[in-house]
Structure 1
Amino acid sequence: MVNFGVIGTNWITDRFLEAGFMLDDFQLNAVYSRTEQKAKDFARKYDVENTYTDLDQFAQSDMVDAVYIASPTALHAEQAITCMKHGKHVFIEKPMASNEKEVSRMIQTAKEANVLLMEGMKTTFVPNFHVLKDTLDTIAPVRRVVANFCQYSSRYDRYKQGEVLNAFKPELSNGSMMDLGIYTVYPVVSLFGEPARVQAQAYMLESGVDGQGTISATYPNLNADLLFSKITNSEMPSEIQGENGSIVIEKFSDMVGLTLVTKDGTRRSLDVEQKENTMFYEAEHFVKCIKEGQTESNINSHERSLYAMRVLDRARADIGLVFPADQTNE
């Protein structure tokens, strides 16, 4: 069994645990929260006795082999580094951290501690993403990518009423680019590498973060337009365009609804069967890496996390979005 502890008690942690419990070798043993009552309430749902409000005590627990971190982004680096220094493997929700400097520190700590560190970007693990990669040669050469993830946040209604929740706080390194834009950035750098040039535009909220935006990533032979928003919905699919056809993707974050359209107009579905909880595949991979003694994923590698974070850093610089974490890491 791989014994997990979790940091963060929100819905995404529930979703991850649901995926983890589909595995035969996954066990939840501990819950950490900065608030004692939240830790106990969350642990009670899963019949877990071990709760912590002290991060060092949690990281030192011999009940935990690996840690799932789903706290606000601004806390990722400190929490991950503390856990890794005590020999814990770390699975950390996207985006991995606030900026490239933090990611570099985390990777260095993982190497020194000889533990597994992996960013939890589910899209690159689902079966349809592998189908997509295998089909790119059919439409090659690829010339354009349009990746779209615009999802109206229920928290935005409360924001407009004057209540600024975590999703719109710069001190937590949040905003639409970090929360949703990463779903467009990470798969693109996984497929095509780090872009040569990054430009960005955004609609900024008074709280200090972006409500929506666009990143233009330029490669030597293709252009990628990445759209994201927490203040609008979109029914527009994503698309990878090549000189010999295109692949249309209805939902980019889960890689659902893939259609190959060849140059002559012929359409063919590429979808294969996927579990409804698409976090299953990343949880399965993470546990497998631990059991095989691997300290880096060959899918969500350290290099790809650095590529994605550099794109986000360059895009934020272009729109003037600075987090407190950027200044503390200087």
Structure 2
Amino acid sequence: MIRLGVIGTNWITDRFINAALSTGHYQLTAVYSRTLEKASDFASKYEPVKCYDSLDELANSDVIDAVYIASPNSLHASQAKVFIKAGKHVIGEKPLASNITDVQELVELAAEHQVLLFEAMKAIYVPNFEVIKKALPKLGRLRKVYFSYCQYSSRYQKYLDGENPNTFNPVFSNGSLMDIGVYPLSSAISLFGEPNSMTAQGSLLDSGVDAHGTLVLHYPEFDATIAHSKVSDGFIASEIQGEQGTLLIDFISECHSVKLCRRDEPVVDLTVEQDENAMRYEAEEFARLYSEGSVSHEGLIRTQIVSAITTQARAILGVRFPADEQS
């Protein structure tokens, strides 16, 4: 049983806790927030749970084996370092850190302290993502890939009204690419590996973060186009096109359905059943790595490639975070 502590008292933390507990591999033992009152309010539905308002006290306590970090993006790296140095395993909500420099430092630090570092990227651990990987040979030579995740932010109106929500604030290392673009990007890197080169375009808000954008990953025989937006809704399926057929994927961040369309053949629905809470599968993968004593794992390679691309893309677009200056 993995004794789990959590940082963050928002809906995503609740969702991860429920997913982790449903696997039978975790016990929630600690909650951190900036105030004990807020931590206690959040933890009340999970009692008995110890509450903390000091990261150092939690990291050096004997009540947790691992911590799940779901604080604002800009805090992921500094908080992860505290726990890694204390010998605790870390599940970092995506993105693992603000930039590639911080990601590489975390990877090196985790190896030094022999702890498991893991990015919670649900998209690549759901069962239907494995279906996609197994179906790729049926497409023949790959020619075009189009992955799209566009979702109008519930906080965009607040931004338009003159407020400064975290979602559109560079202080928190946020924006469209870092918030949702990393999902289709991570899926592409997991399926096809590191590209030969990359191009990036996007539109910036006055706050300094990207509202929406497009990445194109260039591979020897095909391009993978990644479309993302926090200011518009998208409803089209993602596609992987080959000379012999095409895969249609509904909602690439969770792969709700997968269909195979081969030329002159009936469409085949390859979809398998998945848990309604897609975070269950990343929790299961972390538990598997933990039980095996794995420190070096494939996910860290993907995380570093993705972070290098997002860091480069932001440089092209002119998106600069305060966290970049601290790296």
TM superposition score category, shorter chain reference: over 0.9
Mapped partners of 2:101, 2:195: distance in 1: 19
Question: What's the TM-score once normalised by structure 1's chain length?
Answer: 0.97
Deviation at 1:2, TM superposition (A): 0.8
Deviation at 1:265, TM superposition (A): 5.1
Aligned partners of 1:237 and 1:248 also within 8 Å: yes
CA RMSD, Structure 1 to Structure 2 (Å): 1.1
Correspondence 1:323 to 2:312: no
Distance 1:48 1:155, change over 3 A: farther
Aligned partners of 2:197 and 2:218 also within 8 Å: yes
Mapping of residues 95-134 of structure 1, within 5 Å: 95-134=95-134
Deviation at 1:33, TM superposition (A): 1.3
Correspondence for 1:233: 233
Give the aligned residue type for 1:173. Answer: S
Correspondence 1:71 to 2:71: yes
Mapping of residues 122-271 of structure 1, within 5 Å: 122-264=122-264, 266-271=266-271
What do the CA deviations read for 1:145-177 (whole angstroms, capped 9, x no partner)?
Answer: 100000111101111111111111101100010
> What percentage of aligned pairs have identical amino acids?
46
Correspondence 1:14 to 2:14: yes
Mapped partners of 2:70, 2:297: distance in 1: 19
Mapped partners of 2:41, 2:303: distance in 1: 33
Deviation at 1:140, TM superposition (A): 2.1
**Deviating more after overlay: 131-140 vs 256-265:** 256-265
Mapped partners of 2:28, 2:284: distance in 1: 15
Mapped partners of 1:325, 1:144: distance in 2: 35
Deviation at 1:323, TM superposition (A): 0.7
- Listed as ranges, the gaps of 5+ residues in structure 2 are none
Deviation at 1:291, TM superposition (A): 1.7
Mapped partners of 1:323, 1:37: distance in 2: 31
Structure 1 runs (4+) greater than 4 angstroms displaced: none
Mapped partners of 1:238, 1:5: distance in 2: 36
User: What secondary structure does 1:21 align onto?
Assistant: helix
Aligned partners of 1:2 and 1:66 also within 8 Å: yes
What do the CA deviations read for 1:5-60 (whole angstroms, capped 9, x no partner)?
Answer: 00111110000011011122310010111233221211112114411111111110
Question: What's the TM-score once normalised by structure 2's chain length?
Answer: 0.98
Give the aligned residue type for 2:60. Answer: Q
- Listed as ranges, the gaps of 5+ residues in structure 1 are none
Correspondence for 1:82: 82
Mapped partners of 1:255, 1:48: distance in 2: 35
Deviation at 1:91, TM superposition (A): 0.6
User: What secondary structure does 2:63 align onto?
Assistant: coil
